[in-house]
Amino acid sequence: MEERVQAGDIVNFFTTVAMWSRDYEGRNPGVVLKTTRGRSVKGKLSAEVLWSTNEITHEHASYLKKV
């Protein structure tokens, strides 16, 4: 079950996929700027995140853990 993040939450990117984890090692933590739902009935929650590196990315909420 995905964690319900919302704007203003401090989050870390978390995955067990080593390749993806390496990409985010220097970015954590981040601040959720906004969230959106997919267009389908069971639309997945995604978030726009401002990382500590000043990068902004869009992430599936299932990969974000509140700090």
What residue has token string 């990117």? 13
16-52, pLDDT tens digit by residue?
A: 888 888 888 889 999 999 999 876 556 789 999 999 9
Check residue 41 and give its pLDDT.
Answer: 53
23 contacts: CB under 8 Å, gap ≥ 6: none
Check residue 61 and give its pLDDT.
Answer: 92
